[in-house]
Amino acid sequence: MSAPDRSAGGLPGEPVVRVEGVTVSYGDVLALDRADLVLAAGVVCGLVGMNGSGKSTLLKTIVGTIRPDSGTVRIGDEDPARARRSGRVAYVPQSEAVDWAFPLSVRDVVMTGRYGRLGPTRRPRAADRAVVEAALDRVGLRELADRQIGRLSGGQRKRTFVARGIAQEASVMLLDEPFAGVDKVSEATITGLLRELAGDGRTILVATHDLHALPDLADEAVLLMRRVLAHGRPADVLTPERLAEAFGLDPMARREGAGEAR
Ligand SMILES: Nc1ncnc2c1ncn2[C@@H]1O[C@H](COP(=O)(O)OP(=O)(O)OP(=O)(O)O)[C@@H](O)[C@H]1O
């Protein structure tokens, strides 16, 4: 395991992501309704909520690809679009959002993490190539670096985008369903990797349906239903009553499942 690299993120506990009163709608659909969230440096936070609760919308708002109708988002002292351009915030999309047939190798995708730093010629320097190779090593994909991205397993695809975030030297990483379509071994690998990245001082926010993954993965959990219903330690947030509120289930029927979730 590599030594903590504090240059990647902030000091432990320092607020890095601030979402205040954020409302987002798509036409008549209210996706986020005055959502508030503060995330500190060095934390892995699981973002949980039923389908359509606004998880992807919240991630896209933090990475600055969606502008809120009202409210504010700050990444450190920057607005999200600027933080994205400067490489401070990285986004690992849902697999469905990626064109896997595109003729790019794993190394090409990881190199896109350097684009914000390459200048107008977009020509990588030796230092950029070294950062990309180190990122490939860190996620264990060096040997597959020349492979076209469509010829990867689900877990390898996710690790490719995590490597892009590492190459970007992002201090905030947002991941949308990183465990969907991923086997248990890859899930454990990705979980270990995210914990290491948080150990470097990065802030990691993971939208997931997989409540069972949270105890190993996350220091904190956020329960979302258009707004943040609860945020804290997973054991405190994922209670039967709160899960019933967020998922619309009978708390008595949930008791067993909720116990597993913690
Ligand atoms: N581009 C869009 N146009 C219109 N409505 C949208 C769009 N994107 C999302 N929505 C709606 O906004 C709401 C929140 O969607 P979002 O994708 O953020 O939820 P989610 O929690 O990520 O869902 P899932 O778990 O299914 O991925 C949903 O009602 C969804 O149908």
Residue 7 pLDDT: 46
In angstroms, the CA 16 to CA 181 distance is 30
> Which CATH superfamily includes the segment(s) 14-88+172-190+203-249?
P-loop containing nucleotide triphosphate hydrolases (3.40.50.300)
Residue 221 pLDDT: 95
Tokens 């469905």 -> residue: 96
Residue 132 pLDDT: 96
Residue 228 pLDDT: 95
**pLDDT means over runs of 10, the chain (262 residues):** 49 84 96 97 94 95 96 94 90 89 94 84 89 95 96 93 93 93 87 93 92 89 94 91 78 46 38
Domain ranges of the chain: 14-88+172-190+203-249, 99-169
203-207 and 172-176 strand pairing: parallel
Residue 1 pLDDT: 42
Site to probe by mutation for ligand 1, drawn from 19, 24, 50, 57 as the one with most ligand atoms within 8 Å of Cβ, is 57
ipTM of the modeled complex: 0.96
Helix (H) or strand (E) holding 220: strand 220-225
121 lines ligand 1 (CB under 6 A): no
* Order of all β-strands in the sheet with 172-176: 89-92, 172-176, 203-207, 44-48, 220-225, 227-232
In angstroms, the CA 123 to CA 103 distance is 19
SS3 string of 56-116?
HHHHHHHCCCCCCCEEEEEECCECHHHHHHHCCEEEECCHHHCCCCCCCEHHHHHHHCCHH
**147 with 104: CB under 8 angstroms?**
no
In angstroms, the CA 98 to CA 181 distance is 14
In angstroms, the CA 137 to CA 159 distance is 11
Q: What is the distance in A from the centroid of ligand 1 to the CA of 5?
A: 35
Helix (H) or strand (E) holding 72: strand 70-75
Q: Whose CA is nearest to atom 12 of ligand 1?
A: 31
31 lines ligand 1 (CB under 6 A): yes
In angstroms, the CA 1 to CA 72 distance is 37
Q: Whose CA is nearest to atom 28 of ligand 1?
A: 52
String of DSSP letters for 160-176: HHHHHHHHTT-SEEEEE
Q: What is the distance in A from the centroid of ligand 1 to the CA of 207?
A: 13
Strand partners, 78: 75
Collapsing DSSP to helix, strand or coil, 132 comes out as helix
Is the model's pTM score more than 0.90? no
Position in ligand 1 atom list of the atom nearest CA 27: 4
Collapsing DSSP to helix, strand or coil, 200 comes out as coil
Position in ligand 1 atom list of the atom nearest CA 224: 21
Fill in the DSSP letter of residue 38: E
Q: What is the distance in A from the centroid of ligand 1 to the CA of 239?
A: 25
**193 with 138: CB under 8 angstroms?**
yes
Q: How many CB atoms within 10 Å of residue 216? A: 12
